[in-house]
Amino acid sequence: MVALQKSKKRAAPSQAGPKPKKTHLESAKTDKKRSRPITQPLAAEDAGSDSEGGSDDLDDEPMLEEEADEADEAMDIDVKPDQRPRDPNAARESHKAQKVLQEQRRAAKPHSTLLVDAKKVWSLARQKNIPTTERQKHIKDLMNVIRGKVTDIVFKHDASRIVQTAVKYGGQKERDEIAAELKGRYKDLAQNKYSKFLVTKLIRFCPTHRTSILFEFQSHVLRMLLHREASSVLADAFELYANAYERTILLREFYGKEAALFSFTTGSEEDKERAKKGLSGVLEGTDIERKRRILGAVKDNLVTIFNNSDKGAVTHAVVHRALWEYLTAVNTFEEVEQEKLRREMFDSCQEVLAEMVHTKDGSRVVREFLAQGTAKDRKQILKVLKAHIERMCLDDEAQLVLFTALDVIDDTKLMSKSFISLITASATKLYPTSQGRRSLMYLLVPRTRRHFTPAQIVSLSETDEIRARTSKKSPESREEEVRRAASEELIAWVKESGEQLIREPTGCLVVAEIMLYGEGDKSSAIDMLLQTLASPSISDPHPIDLPPTSRLYKSLLQGGHYNHTTKTVERVPTTSWDSSAFADKFVRVVGPEPTVAMCVGNGNGAFIVAELCEALIRGEQNYGRQKVKEWFGSPEVVKQLEESEVKGKTVLQEKLALL
């Protein structure tokens, strides 16, 4: 009976057979997405992705006109049982009348015949699982129907999808043909709820038309950034598809009318090269008064964006680039004027700084404010960012703001409460990703080449010169205080979750740094690490047989990491980690049988025991040396070791001879 009930709960097998494979055209390319603000909730982020996905997944867009009509019909027919006509033919007649009325409404609309013909071909071209050759045939038929009439139909919500399909699946010839036909209408298209997706597609797929499309937005950029529909078009164009020169086209309006009148007027190659420099190119060779007027215009335009933060433009990279260019230009003034201009801008945007940290330029802006600001300014920035720490730790650009805060803020007690404790509390969520591991590692070993790329280190060092003027503590003492503040919780985390962590490659990386560089009582964490070797789980492989885990224990016995450049081990100070004491405790806790078994297994156990011998000799641990010598001195073990083909056998025998 129970079995029968369970079988009823099972889903019925599909009658449609296996799902067809995706065609090469559909699966070969993944779409780039704009970076998301860390202030945006995850649920909202997913929803935003879906809405933008409508530009490529046409099934996500609104219903076609006839689909909506049919839905209305269904609503008309779906009445309560007691209101249904008793005559069985009445419903049929009513349905026929509705059909006639529907056809009359369609016929009365402009271009009705064109839309009917286009939709017939479009329904064939948009199928997902058809051969490329067949799709291209349908696309050519579709172009024959809409050619010369794209401008007439593209603003209709259903016809816009037809044109999008032609752009998505058509060749470059078809795309360029549509782009040329829509010339002069791109501003209106970008502001339309449905055709904005088409504009983004053309910007993406038609590089030869991209510059002319962006030029149509000139003198309207600020209003479009504050427009509900057009804002995402500009954001995608700037961040995903435009080159250096094309980005300046969208930035010029921020520089004000004077810059527009007197800069880049000839269109020469020299002007284009100067335009690529952005605001610095505009200010090149100008007198101080004109420079002040242009910067004043930039400030006013940015403040307009900040004062309308509910419109969403403050999260876009184009705004962050304009702000970063402004701050860079401000640094060319005298110190007193610099401080005044920077202060005015900070007061205007301090409440929306969390909306900026997810882009490269936005991250640099916030880091600049952190480095140049007073203690009060830094405290205000921490207050704004505090609610988003975990999301910042997982974002490539936003985490650089956290690292700069750790670099420049002298009040480490405030940092411990505002940032450090929140980062360590999220360690379980952070360590699986490279971004999260970097956030944890910066608390212990900032800017190490083991975890940070040269480009990241160079980017972080941009504020070092400013830090030397605005911060009182030395970098070394600040790093030590941050490490001490983070160590206790991280060591406790290793003690609680270490058995799972050391079985994962990412977990081993984090545990190694915490044990080597963390400050505090590590005895409980050490006991956990050694007990795992002494009595491993029967159902899982022995930890030493896992390459990342064996490297972890080798580093702990070496007392540091091996440097492949210098071919030496960079040992940490014994005040932080005593490898000889760890080796002695290894002997006492793990015991003879597990230790000998490591050396005759299939893993790297022989290398680990060789490092154990080296650590015992280095630290003059007589008890441990004597015990290991006894364990491996018995005839059975010697014979077993000689007959085995285990890796590292020769190295182990050499180290045992030195005991």
Please name the residue that has the structure tokens 């490898």: 579
Q: For the segment 524-558, what is each residue's pLDDT rounded down to a tens digit?
A: 999 999 999 988 766 678 889 899 999 999 999 99
- Nearest Cα to Cα of residue 516 among 558, 482, 568: 558
CA geometry: angle 100, 103, 105, nearest 5 deg: 110
The DSSP bridge pattern shows strands 560-563 and 568-571 to be: antiparallel
Q: Are 557 and 614 in contact (CB under 8 A)?
A: yes
What is the distance between the alpha carbons of residues 354 and 385, in angstroms, rounded to a whole number?
Answer: 6
Q: Report whether 651 contacts 658 (CB < 8 A).
A: no
The pLDDT of 34-61, averaged and rounded, is: 56
pLDDT digits (tens, 9 = 90+) for 318-366: 999 999 999 999 999 999 999 999 999 999 999 999 999 999 999 999 9
| In the predicted structure, residue 15 carries a pLDDT above the cut 50 | no
Spacing of C-alpha 461 from chain mean position: 22
Give the torsion sign (CA, 286, 288, 290, 296): positive
Nearest to 322 by CA among 223, 256, 397: 256
Mean pLDDT of 77-84: 46
Closest CA to 193 of 234, 223, 160: 160
Cα three-residue angle 580-584-587, rounded to 5 degrees:
140
DSSP 201-232: HHHHH-HHHHHHHHHTTTT-HHHHHTSTTHHH
pLDDT, tens only, 434-449:
999 999 999 999 999 9
Q: Are 73 and 102 in contact (CB under 8 A)?
A: yes
Residue-level pLDDT at 241: 95
**According to the model, what pLDDT value does residue 3 have?**
45
Q: What is the mean pLDDT of residues 559-577?
A: 91
Q: Give CA–CA dist 254/305, Å, rounded.
A: 10
Burial of residue 384, with CB atoms counted within 10 A of its CB: 0-12 exposed, 13-18 middle, 19 or more buried: middle
